[in-house]
Amino acid sequence: MTVGAPDLGAPRIGVVGADLPRQLVLAAGATPVRILGSWSGPVSDEAAQLPGAVDAVAARILDALLRGAHDDLAGLVVCNDSTAHLRVFYVLRILAERGRVRYPVHLLDAPRGGGAPRDRFVARQYQRLAAFCTSLTGAAPDAAGLRDAAERELRLGEALQRLRRRRRSGRCSGPTALAAYRAAATLPPGEAVAIVDAADHPARGRPVFVTGSAHPDETAYEAIETVGLTVVGEDHDTGDSAWIGDAVAADDLEAATRLLAGRHAGRAPLAARSLTAERIAHLERGLDASGATGVIALVRELDDAPAWDAAAQRRLVEGRGMPFQARVRVRPGDIAGAAHETATALAQALGRGEHA
Amino acid sequence: MSERLAAAVAATRYQKDWFARMAARARAGEQIAIVNADVPHEILRALEIPYVVTQWWSSIIAAKQVGPAAMERVAARGLPDFSLQYDAMPLGEQELPEHMRPWGGLPAPAFAIAERSGDVTQKIFEQWGERPGTETFLLSRTAADPVPPRWWELVSHEWETAFGSDRLDLLQDEIEELTSWLEDRTGRRLDRGRLAEIMRLGNEHAEWNRRTRDLVAAARPTPVSVNDTMPAVMVPQWHRGTQWAVDAARALHDEVAERVARGHAVCPAERRRLMWIGRGLWSDLAMYQRFQEEFGAVFVWSMYLAIAADGYRRYGEDPVRTLAARFVGITDQLYVPPWSSDWYLAEALSHDVDGVVHLVADDTPGGVFITEALEAAGIPVLEIRANNADARSTGAARIPERIADFLRTRVPARS
């Protein structure tokens, strides 16, 4: 195994959303840093009002950006992977013009669906992304840079595979796994590998799967696990469905962007931009892989897409003889209680063997 | 009460007759489509596939006061009744008992077509595809990037600059995919010469709307009520690309011009000119005239005539690419700042309004920037957060009471 390029001192490029092909950022000599937000904490009136009615987690991301909490960034990429994130971009675009944001802001618009027209569009978007990164770092992704980035990213992907295997064999709790994913999404790959591999300790609860909104922090998972459950998998983008650890073998940017666009089309379907049928198929794969015995869906208020999936998810899960507990329109301040109540109901159903 | 606009009465009557004819043909086996407002209808027109627009059908459901019942049917299927009701309501209408269905109900469509707008529209249209006999086609929705200044002066001819070639390439390709998909299912073939003629008629239609908008902007006092211009503009919009629509738009223009010439006033004691930003309040259209007597306040502007004037004209050689240019940014123009905020401000100034009522729905971004731009120009704004089609939401928002209070406290009467 070769040693990757040193991360120390690499410019940090912030990322809002889950659509980033990390290899391109790494190949341009930068570290991608996902900005995740949180379930709790105050939101300023400005951040609450400017984007309109949005998921509170996105409002907290905007709030942090406007407060200067990420002013060390060299630039920011905002993904059009949800209405909330797109609105954050529109707000930042205007405020950046007014001098309120200290770094350049770039939109990454990668429609889902696959097929030649969409793949071509996404590949062009990736070329724009690479140009943006190069404008910040001065380093264009060349053959050596793409190879090195691929190697670093794939090693992180292997570590995440090991993490998933540990979760399924009772050697990693859900909160610990989420924290490891956060490290993978925010740190240089080399540092992240060490943290991901250190996430190894017994977890003895009944294995359950989490769907619904993404979890920017461990609040809900901790509440779920207090009732004797362990979260062994999820289908949201801050856990198993994060696009981390994937890379392509390409010697030039044009080939890399074309191949990455194809990978994007085959990624895990995330609630906001995928069909319910795609989500159901993905959930089924997740249940097969994880060995979960029940499913919890927690959907934040104003994050409506997962709420539209819930009825079909219930049919799938209960059709497999497993219990499904859902809570929609969860207010951010209520998450710990909502997660605890939902998990308690699931644990009781599992205890009664209602669906065994 | 001002006299009704003949163009509005005629359009409403035509639409009801058209729906009855279309429904009869559909029940006899003809394939029809349900489509969102922001998909390229012209392809359906060219292939002679009748179509019903989701938002228009929702407005009828709401106007017939069965919106809440329709949303209860959505909820009964385990689906959200709190989310994008304007798109979801027709799904629930399909489940209503016969006696509750407006105009006999929408026959089951063969095709459901939408853009993948926002997070939820695609899932609503996916639900249509779960119904027996209905298939769904989804177009991509790309984001508003770049941002040209004064788009309304640019988009009719310089649309390649306004929207960027990448976005246009994608939608053009997807229109070709949609065309093939429909051709496969109907056995028909798109006549591109026919499509070019439909585009020409659409532009002629829009030019009449532009002239009408300019007449209304310049007229003092205002000669037409927005609850008349809404149907008079929107019904022909859903027949865009037909000679009937051109004639209807011209008839509207001529009637407005005649009213201006004879000094007709919707509100003879006009003392406050108001702008309504947001979707129409279909469940209570009478609300728009409720403030004329007490406050001399008349709504002189709604987005329906204005977007019909500025949003649809596209001139180009290739009808498919030109059609892509018509639709690639239709949502941006109305809802994405600074596209939207710049345009609303320009319209407010050209119509010389004294105050703005701004209905902000959950799925429309950038409301703050619109309000900010207007207030910065000295135009007071009342923001109301509610869903226009869901009477439960608009009732809770106490809209008439808040507008009356707004007029009393923030919108001085002209001397």
Residues of B in contact with A115 (CB under 8 A): 177
Per-residue pLDDT at B97: 97
Contact A113/B124, CB-based, under 8 Å?
no
The set of residues, in sequence order, having a beta carbon less than 8 Å from that of B401 and lying 6+ positions away, is none
Nearest-angstrom CA–CA distance, B133 and B54: 18
**Where do runs of H (alpha helix) occur along chain A?**
22-27, 45-49, 56-67, 83-97, 116-137, 143-168, 174-186, 189-198, 219-225, 253-265, 276-290, 305-319, 335-352
- Is residue A5 very low, low, confident or very high in pLDDT (cuts 50, 70, 90)? very low
- Is residue A3 very low, low, confident or very high in pLDDT (cuts 50, 70, 90)? very low
The set of residues, in sequence order, having a beta carbon less than 8 Å from that of A301 and lying 6+ positions away, is A55, A56, A329, A330, A331, A332
Angle, helix B121-130 to helix B85-93, in steps of 10 degrees: 10
The whole-number average pLDDT for the span A196-210 is 97
Q: Which chain A residue has its CA at the smallest distance from B365's CA?
A: A52
Residues of B in contact with A272 (CB under 8 A): 119
Q: Which chain A residue has its CA at the smallest distance from B119's CA?
A: A272
Residues of B in contact with A299 (CB under 8 A): none
Nearest-angstrom CA–CA distance, B320 and B120: 27
Per-residue pLDDT at B339: 93
Beta pairing class for B111-115 and A12-16: unpaired
Per-residue pLDDT at B286: 86
- Is residue A9 very low, low, confident or very high in pLDDT (cuts 50, 70, 90)? confident
Per-residue pLDDT at B256: 98
Assess B135–A contact: CB distance below 8 Å, yes or no: no
Per-residue pLDDT at B367: 86
- Is residue A52 very low, low, confident or very high in pLDDT (cuts 50, 70, 90)? confident
The set of residues, in sequence order, having a beta carbon less than 8 Å from that of B207 and lying 6+ positions away, is B313
Mean pLDDT, contiguous 10-residue spans, chain B (415 residues):
86 96 97 96 98 95 94 97 92 97 97 95 97 97 93 97 97 98 98 98 98 98 94 96 98 98 96 93 83 96 96 98 97 92 97 95 80 97 80 74 96 92
Contact A308/B147, CB-based, under 8 Å?
no
The whole-number average pLDDT for the span A88-107 is 95
- Is residue A354 very low, low, confident or very high in pLDDT (cuts 50, 70, 90)? low
Nearest CA-CA partner of B371 in B385, B355, B383, B387: B383
- Lookup: tokens for B251: 């008839």
CA distance B143 to chain A (A): 7
Per-residue pLDDT at B110: 98
The ipTM value here is 0.95
Per-residue pLDDT at A217: 97
The whole-number average pLDDT for the span A251-267 is 98
Per-residue pLDDT at B281: 80
Per-residue pLDDT at A353: 77
Per-residue pLDDT at A4: 42
pTM recorded for the entire structure: 0.94
Nearest-angstrom CA–CA distance, B103 and B18: 11
Give contacts of B 374-413 with A, CB under 8 A: 385
Per-residue pLDDT at A352: 85
Per-residue pLDDT at B365: 74
Per-residue pLDDT at A356: 45
The whole-number average pLDDT for the span A246-253 is 98
| pLDDT tens digits for range A27-39 | 999 999 999 999 9
- Lookup: tokens for B381: 């704004």
Mutate to test the interface with A, among B84, B116, B121, B123 (most CBs of A within 10 A): B123
> Element (H or E) spanning B163, and its range?
helix B159-163
